[in-house]
Chains A and B, each alone.
Chain A
Amino acid sequence: MTEHVATNETILVVGGGISGMTAALEAAETGKNVVLVEKNPALGGRTSQLYRYFPKLCHPTCGLEINLRRLKGNPRVRVVTLAEVTGIEGSTGNYTASIKVKPRYVNESCTACGDCGRAVETMVDDPFNYNLGQHKAAFLPNAMAYPQRYVLDPAIIGTADADRAKAACKYGAIDLDMKEETIQVKAGAVVWATGWQPYDAAKIQPYGYGRFKNVITSVEFERLADIHGPTGGKILRPSDGKEAKNIAFIQCAGSRDENHLRHCSRICCMASLKQTHYVREKYPEDGKSTIYYIDIRAIDRFEDFYQKVQADPSVSFIKSKVAKVTEDEHGNPVCHGVDTEGYKRYTTPHDLVVLAVGMEPSVKGINIPGHIVADSSGFIEADPANGAVFGAGCASNALDVNRAVQSATAAALRAIQVVNKVAKAEA
């Protein structure tokens, strides 16, 4: 929140999701200065787009609220949003990062009063809702957005809409002359917490994502269930807005597949088990879930969550990798395949198919000295060759939130060890 000057005793944290925020806060609360860089206009990352967590079914925004309060009260963390690290130079204890900062077209004077949003007419896709819905081209990224400041979509810059927004703002918060800039930041150590992205489901051709409207991904399904989502928390199917009560969950959509992602993404089984709760929550009478799986990976303590779901009569399990999805005349996606436990063939129509898409590390394009050592899936490995650049969270492995936070906390200590050495040397 402050503008302290970055030095070799500063820790640079790349990525403002739960892993990055954790690494930044844990380091700051141990007395270190941190620069936290986030490419989106607001912090929170992927978890802030989830409706509930497994296994507690609590809301990610609850933890986000706590982390944001920690952040608001801590002068040691400097947050830079709409920013991407384009390169890092130097070596352990002495790095300089080039950071490209996109224009927000809104300055600190913004009070989030919303006048600009009401003034503009242009609607643009809402990435926070995976483009399932649209929002005004002058918008607050989401209800929990920090910084709590509006953003102007570049699409309207130079149009009458931009002028309307500017005119509507009583506080001179809109600055249409903002330009993209590149800033240099010094740091002794770097925590790389760029998280993950959902595997491109369109590449899994037999499942017809992109061809059939009623085939969606697990991350999109989270938005449908969320009160802040495009349907206001109702599970409606995209094709016709009809209530989707009979829902298929297809596991390993991309994961454990040599044609796509070679690794197991760890979270997808639990995510689908969790999402069957959404179906029951919204349609207690006649909600129905079917999980098509290879192995249910409800690891360690999560096993009892799995057992609870198994006991639920509205949920059925079929041990089968679905062969293909077709669409019937009513626009229902139809799953075709073979239940391998005793060889039973099925051709089952559902209201909606949810693909439990795999985790792909968003480490690509990272440009640092001696190039980062990663495994065959692109996850950053713990390797001396990486110097003082430490992978954290899902940039380092396919992890659930709990493990990602552990990993981020560990990464924070590794970074602190480096800057402490620098401090000793400089003292």
Chain B
Amino acid sequence: MADIKVAAYICKGCGLGERLDADALVKIAQKDGKVPLAKSHEFLCNADGVAMIKNDIANEGVTHIMIGACSRRAKTEAFFFPENAVARANLREGVIWIRPDTDEARETTQEMAEDYIRMGCAEVKAMTAPGGNTNTGTSKTLLVVGGGVTGMTTAIEASKTGYPVVLVEKTGALGGWAAKLYKRVPVHEPFKSPADTGVGDLVAQVLGDSNIKLYLNATVAKTDGAPGRFIVDIATESGATHTEDIGAIVQASGFTLYDMNKLPELGGGKSPNVVDQAGLEALAKAAAAGDGVIRRPSDNQPVKSVVFVQCAGQRDPSGTHLAYCSGVCCNTSIKQAMYFKDANPSVDTTIIYTDLRTPGNGEDFYRSAQEKGVIFTKGKVAQVVPNGATSTVKFHDLILDDTDAAVADVDLVVLATGQVANSGIDIFAAPKTEEEEAAVEVKPISILNLTYRQGKDVPQLKQGFTDSHFICFPYETRRTGIYTAGPVRRPMDIAQAREDATGAALKAIQALENAELGRAAHPRSGDLSFPKVRLEGCTQCKRCTVECPFGAIDEDEKRFPVFNESRCRRCGTCMGACPVRVISFENYSVNTVGAQIKAVDIPDEFSEKPRILILACENDAYPALDMAGMSRNEYSAYVRIIPIRCLGSVNTIWITDALNAGYDGVMLMGCKSGDEYQCHFVKGSELGRVRMSKIDDTLKTLNLESERVRDLEVAITDIERVPEMINKYAAELVAVGPSPFKGF
């Protein structure tokens, strides 16, 4: 390691000077922290204080900086030294603000501060300023999979931004579902009548754009590599395979309509005069090509009465059909009813619904349909009975509470079946047996054929959709540099799909740009640190390759892990998983945390001063602790808190080291895991917990009580709950008694 020079700066502002013995802290930094340069300052974050630090960097050759002041979340502009390794000892929010200002508390408060100085010095010495991943690619080309509205929009928008695009479409033509539509739902004022789909225009733009390389009748045979350096094999009908260098990928594989043949009770497949929404679009297109009259499939007679059945095979809690709502069918049926009314007002059109869902200005479209004479009936359709050329629609009229209401002599019934995502293989689904495989009519076909250790396609969220689980971050897929857009992500209409496609294009561009610079993608965007592995120490246990939430790590033929830094999100789950501790980041490693744990001064068992180690998730638990301080919610002076990137990065060695060192207890604070997980590294907190659940064995071998380790779920709002938990635990430990390992 290049020679480093560490400097420690102790701030005396914000009451630190009054509440703490700053000179003593400076001495601690020098004596215990062993830093050559230690200073205190009246007001470190002001221009003068910052200038002092900058001067030391420039003239004293300081490379590593330890700041003993406020929380790392505060005064970030002042203490911004991107070139240096920086550690922050949280003396304000973490010490004086959570302790009473009393004489009896003074001693323990000072001890707390001193430990944090020791920890800060130890941490910063174990750090190096991250230099950024060098194993980067330079491809600026976007791969777009799917030539529907979403795919075409992504391609066009990316090209407009100045990036070349490779567009792969499995059929022989562009346009996807939208090309099958007669018209679309309006997106501009006034929202009164169906509008042109605009697909023709999109197709023309794609074909006319030299920046967009188009493969028709083609599929993705293989996707290898990482953002900035994907290598993608494209298989074409002719059997030829083309290989493309790709920077980032947008998957726009769209949807398939739910099969109405699964709805025989609604006449699905029972009569040619019962169609789904796609069927109606086809009839409308045929009519438009001819005399404009929509005709009954069975005998080509003009349709005089039509009934639309909403939520057909959708919103079904029984699990037989789709559990979700496709969100677009209400507007679609309104649009299709207008096909009839606009051509001939005397055609009877009835839409039978339970909840009409026309958000935003869809309300105007709904009103317009009523003006045109479309009848809306709130009811649940029980049965569609075809007899000859017509059908009878039997339903429960919910307003008139008439259980055997019916519409008779219906020429055409339209079933609003939902959207099913074309999301490829569900990599989490339990592997199927031969018979089961056979039983499934359509085998899911992989869309991307990723060579990743963790499966061929992008993980699905639920119900087959590849949507993000994060409300604030809709583009968070679990495959870095690969984004999904359009109905494969969430059921949506043309307008939403185009918006989504544009956003996905930006994320893809951003991903390949940052990949080239060796920077992390969201949520640690801009982070230059990346995992380094000492392969010589690796035991090929595969834990890291299995646990990485983002599929960043593959295995070579000798089953050694192969890190793809550009896929990595820097959560440290691999580091936490590694039993032999060969994985680390420059500024966050088994050492940076381990050294802090060891740096704490452990009083002997007679002192009646227990020590509790808290490892707190930096995104939720740590801010909660900060805000507890800001609202002066007191907690025990016996805790020593270390922020961690994620519970998933916690290596059990830290726990055992702490217990061996004589800590009386360890608290782990991470985000909610499970189905509604709130961990921003997806599986981090869950994996961390699984690991910790096995800690009991370790405790037994050390023959320690299981109370000594406590795993807690903490939310960012727990500013009152966390202090309570801490104090409760501190009290419990007193009952358990001091750790037998003290003073060894």
* Interface residue ranges, A against B (CB under 8 Å): 1, 18, 25-26, 29-31, 51, 53, 56-67, 69-70, 72-74, 108-109, 111-113, 140, 143-144, 148, 170-171, 226-228, 256, 262-266, 295-304, 307, 319, 340-343, 375-377, 379, 381, 383, 397-398, 401-403, 405-407, 409-410, 412-414, 416-417, 420, 424
Instruction: Find residues 170-200 in chain B having any chain A CB closer than 8 Å to their own CB.
Output: 188-191
Q: Are A264 and B359 in contact (CB under 8 A)?
A: yes
Give 20 A-B contacts (CB < 8 Å), ordered by A residue: A29-B526, A31-B513, A56-B676, A67-B472, A112-B630, A140-B630, A256-B363, A262-B363, A264-B359, A299-B327, A300-B327, A301-B324, A304-B324, A342-B399, A342-B400, A342-B401, A376-B364, A402-B474, A406-B503, A410-B500
- Residue among A140, A402, A412 facing the most chain B CB atoms (10 A cut-off): A402
Contacts of B510 in A (CB 8 A): 26, 29-30
B619 at the interface (CB under 8 A from A): yes
Q: Are A59 and B716 in contact (CB under 8 A)?
A: yes
Q: Are B719 and A405 in contact (CB under 8 A)?
A: no
B360 at the interface (CB under 8 A from A): yes
Contact among A59, A299, A381, A416 with B161 in the assembled complex (CB-CB below 8 Å): A416
Stretch in contact with the other chain, from B127-135, B222-230, B292-300, B459-467: B459-467
Contacts of B14 in A (CB 8 A): 111, 113
Q: Are A406 and B364 in contact (CB under 8 A)?
A: no
The closest CB in chain A to the CB of B17 belongs to: A170
The closest CB in chain B to the CB of A113 belongs to: B14
- B481 to A: closest C-beta gap in Å: 14
B315 at the interface (CB under 8 A from A): yes
- Residue among A74, A264, A381 facing the most chain B CB atoms (10 A cut-off): A264
Known pairs A227-B720, A420-B162; A397 contacts B627 (CB<8 A): no
B620 at the interface (CB under 8 A from A): yes
Q: Are B509 and A30 in contact (CB under 8 A)?
A: yes
Contact among A29, A72, A148, A405 with B472 in the assembled complex (CB-CB below 8 Å): A405
The closest CB in chain B to the CB of A21 belongs to: B472
CA distance A398 to B361 in the complex (A): 9
Contacts of B630 in A (CB 8 A): 112, 140, 143
Q: Are B676 and A1 in contact (CB under 8 A)?
A: no
Contacts of B506 in A (CB 8 A): 26, 30, 409-410, 412-413, 416
Contacts of A297 in B (CB 8 A): 355, 357, 359
- B713 to A: closest C-beta gap in Å: 12
Known pairs A60-B472, A263-B364, A413-B502; A65 contacts B619 (CB<8 A): yes
- B202 to A: closest C-beta gap in Å: 15
Q: Are A111 and B75 in contact (CB under 8 A)?
A: yes
| 3 pairs of A and B residues whose beta carbons are closest in the complex | A63-B472, A409-B503, A342-B401
Known pairs A143-B631, A301-B467, A413-B161; A401 contacts B719 (CB<8 A): no
Q: Are A381 and B505 in contact (CB under 8 A)?
A: no
The closest CB in chain A to the CB of B327 belongs to: A300
Q: Are A72 and B13 in contact (CB under 8 A)?
A: no
CA distance A413 to B525 in the complex (A): 18
Contacts of A414 in B (CB 8 A): 502
The closest CB in chain B to the CB of A2 belongs to: B77
Contacts of A397 in B (CB 8 A): 360
* Interface residue ranges, B against A (CB under 8 Å): 13-15, 43, 45-46, 70, 74-77, 80, 157, 160-162, 188-191, 315, 317, 323-327, 355-364, 398-401, 462-463, 465, 467, 469-475, 490-492, 496, 499-500, 502-503, 505-507, 509-510, 513-514, 522-523, 525-526, 619-620, 623, 627, 630-631, 671-672, 676, 678, 680, 715-717, 719-720
Q: Are B513 and A62 in contact (CB under 8 A)?
A: no
- A77 to B: closest C-beta gap in Å: 12
- B605 to A: closest C-beta gap in Å: 38
Q: Are B15 and A53 in contact (CB under 8 A)?
A: no
Contacts of A65 in B (CB 8 A): 619-620, 623, 716
Contact among A264, A401, A409, A424 with B358 in the assembled complex (CB-CB below 8 Å): A264
The closest CB in chain B to the CB of A401 belongs to: B471
Q: Are B619 and A62 in contact (CB under 8 A)?
A: yes
Q: Are B13 and A171 in contact (CB under 8 A)?
A: yes
Main SS class of interface, A: loop
CA distance A265 to B359 in the complex (A): 7
CA distance A61 to B621 in the complex (A): 12
Contacts of A343 in B (CB 8 A): 401
Q: Are A300 and B326 in contact (CB under 8 A)?
A: yes
The closest CB in chain A to the CB of B402 belongs to: A342
Q: Are A66 and B716 in contact (CB under 8 A)?
A: no
Contact among A170, A301, A401 with B465 in the assembled complex (CB-CB below 8 Å): A301
- B377 to A: closest C-beta gap in Å: 13
Contacts of B467 in A (CB 8 A): 301
CA distance A319 to B162 in the complex (A): 52
Q: Are B325 and A56 in contact (CB under 8 A)?
A: no
CA distance A412 to B671 in the complex (A): 30
CA distance A61 to B357 in the complex (A): 30
Contacts of A412 in B (CB 8 A): 506
Contact among A56, A143, A341, A342 with B471 in the assembled complex (CB-CB below 8 Å): A56
Contacts of A416 in B (CB 8 A): 161, 506
Q: Are B491 and A300 in contact (CB under 8 A)?
A: yes
CA distance A58 to B467 in the complex (A): 17
- Residue among B324, B467, B491, B509 facing the most chain A CB atoms (10 A cut-off): B324
Q: Are B471 and A263 in contact (CB under 8 A)?
A: no
Q: Are A58 and B720 in contact (CB under 8 A)?
A: no
Contact among B357, B471, B631 with A295 in the assembled complex (CB-CB below 8 Å): B357
Contacts of A31 in B (CB 8 A): 513
Contacts of B161 in A (CB 8 A): 413, 416-417, 420
- Residue among B75, B323, B490, B717 facing the most chain A CB atoms (10 A cut-off): B717
Q: Are B717 and A70 in contact (CB under 8 A)?
A: no
Contacts of A140 in B (CB 8 A): 630
The closest CB in chain B to the CB of A304 belongs to: B323
Q: Are A56 and B678 in contact (CB under 8 A)?
A: yes
CA distance A41 to B190 in the complex (A): 38
Q: Are A143 and B719 in contact (CB under 8 A)?
A: yes
- B523 to A: closest C-beta gap in Å: 5
Contacts of A113 in B (CB 8 A): 13-15
Q: A59-B716, A66-B473, A300-B326 are in contact. List 19 more A-B contacts (CB 8 A).
A: A62-B678, A62-B715, A63-B471, A65-B619, A170-B13, A256-B363, A262-B364, A299-B359, A301-B462, A342-B401, A375-B191, A375-B361, A376-B364, A379-B361, A381-B189, A403-B474, A406-B499, A413-B502, A414-B502
CA distance A341 to B401 in the complex (A): 6
Q: Are A58 and B13 in contact (CB under 8 A)?
A: no
CA distance A29 to B523 in the complex (A): 11
The closest CB in chain A to the CB of B43 belongs to: A171
Contacts of A262 in B (CB 8 A): 363-364
Contacts of A67 in B (CB 8 A): 472
The closest CB in chain A to the CB of B354 belongs to: A295
CA distance A134 to B686 in the complex (A): 41
CA distance A341 to B403 in the complex (A): 12
- B432 to A: closest C-beta gap in Å: 25
Contacts of B671 in A (CB 8 A): 62
CA distance A375 to B472 in the complex (A): 26
Contacts of A143 in B (CB 8 A): 627, 630-631, 719
The closest CB in chain A to the CB of B489 belongs to: A406
Contacts of B505 in A (CB 8 A): 413
Contacts of B500 in A (CB 8 A): 406, 410
Known pairs A263-B364, A297-B359; A1 contacts B324 (CB<8 A): no
Q: Are B473 and A295 in contact (CB under 8 A)?
A: no
The closest CB in chain B to the CB of A256 belongs to: B363
The closest CB in chain B to the CB of A343 belongs to: B401
Q: Are B631 and A303 in contact (CB under 8 A)?
A: no
Contacts of B474 in A (CB 8 A): 402-403, 405-406, 409
The closest CB in chain A to the CB of B45 belongs to: A111
Q: Are A266 and B359 in contact (CB under 8 A)?
A: yes
Q: Are A303 and B323 in contact (CB under 8 A)?
A: yes
